[in-house]
Structure formats: structure tokens, C-alpha cells
Amino acid sequence: MLPTVEQVAKMIDHSLLRPDLTVGEVRQGCELAASRGTKSVCVRPSDVALAVAALHGTGVLVGTVVGFPHGNTLTAIKVAETKALVEAGADEIDMVLDIGRLRSGDAAYVRDDIAAVVQAAGGRCVKVIQENAYLTNDQKVLGCRLVEEAGAQFVKTSTGFAPGGATLADIRLMRATVSPAIEVKAAGGVRTLDTLLELVEAGATRFGATATAAILDDLAARHRGERTSVVAAADGAY
């Protein structure tokens, strides 16, 4: 059975992270998110205050990014950035872990880096981006375990700016690695409803997407088709 349009909308973080977006385009993106009832928008740090104002009273959360997109800023900078963004009104933080340190096997550094951001977020949801395109499966598993140890709420596949994005294999691996207390977010390449539904089946519960309208419109159309079929079948029975 297909999920409802409302259910899928509440799985989507509408992504507004392209570096070339104008202020007007960010406002338009916030309007789209509000009209479609997405879970959140995910905006660039400099756009947080704008998004907070644009989405006031809509129920759509404002998310933003820290250490984006490479993850190699100092922990102190990530902490300062997180605190400033929380003060500006951010509800959720998507941080990039230190990819090079993870690939080097420096587990303590990666865990402490994440934990510092979690603490700075003051109880707000923290999603940790591993950037799986650069990692082996063993490194992905290690990253997931460190995310959970550090107290974050989500593991996330990708920034959307690396050579590859979310894959079924990665979602299955991440879901199998973390406990039920940790959720999995897919980002990068989630452009169609079929892709999203496949990733839901694999264990993802949140999605970074720019093709939000197309995904939700496709789902609405399929529901209309299902209702038409049911009516036709019922008419035939009589």
C-alpha cells in the first residue's frame, strides 16, 4: 500500500543548499515547503534567519548545515557555528563528520567532534553526514557506530556534493549497523518517488531532496489512479 502524500512530505527535508541560490529563490523554496507540508527545509547557514521568518507558524522546521560540505573545519569552529545557528533559530543541524579522520581510523577524534556538536545543539536534532562516496564499507560501519556513541539522532549518507549519493546498499548497511534509536537519512540522488520508496523499504526515514514537488505530485497522481481503479471495479460489480 502506498503511503499518503502527507506521510511522505513529513519524511522530506526540502534542500536549499546550492551555493548559487538567490535570496528570492530561498524564499520560494520555503514557500514550496510550507505549501507541501514537508518536515523541514535545509538551508545554508546564512539563510537560517530568513527561513525562520518565512516559515513562522507553518510547522515546517528549519534545518541547516555545519562543517559543510567537507567536514574538516576545527571542532571549535563547528561548535561556534552550531551555537550561532541555534541562536538564529535552527531546529535541526546536519553536520559533516571529519571524513579524512574517519578514513584514517581516528575514531576518538571523529566521535569527540560529533559529540561536541551534539552538546552545542542543546537537545536539537543532529544528523551526521558520513559522505559515503569516499568510504569503504568498514569505514561506513565505523562512522555509524561513532555517530551513535556521540549521541546524535541520525546517520546520513551524503551531502549531495560528492561523486555519489544515497544507495540501497548503503541504507541497508547503515540501518543494520545502528540501533533502533538512531534513524537513517538518505540524501544525494533522491529525485523520484520510486527511489524514495525503495529507500524507505531499506530503512531510511528522512530524505534530503530538491525534487520535492515532483515526488509528491507523482504520489498524488498514483493515489488518484488507485481511487479510479477502485471505483471502476465497484461499478463493474453492479
Just list the catalytic residues: 94, 156, 185
Rg (CA), the chain: 19
| Cα gap 85→101, rounded to integer Å | 25
Written as nine digits, the cell of 154 is 541520525
Instruction: Give dist(CA 8, CA 38) in Å, integer.
Output: 8
- Under 8 Å between Cβ of 26 and 51: yes
Question: Where do we find the cell 536539537?
Answer: 124
| Residue in the block written with cell 523499504 | 201
Nearest to 98 by CA among 77, 124, 84: 77
* Kind and range of the H or E run holding 14: strand 12-16
Per DSSP, 157 falls in state: -
Rounded to whole angstroms, the Cα distance separating 133 from 124 reads 27
Give CA–CA dist 50/54, Å, rounded: 6
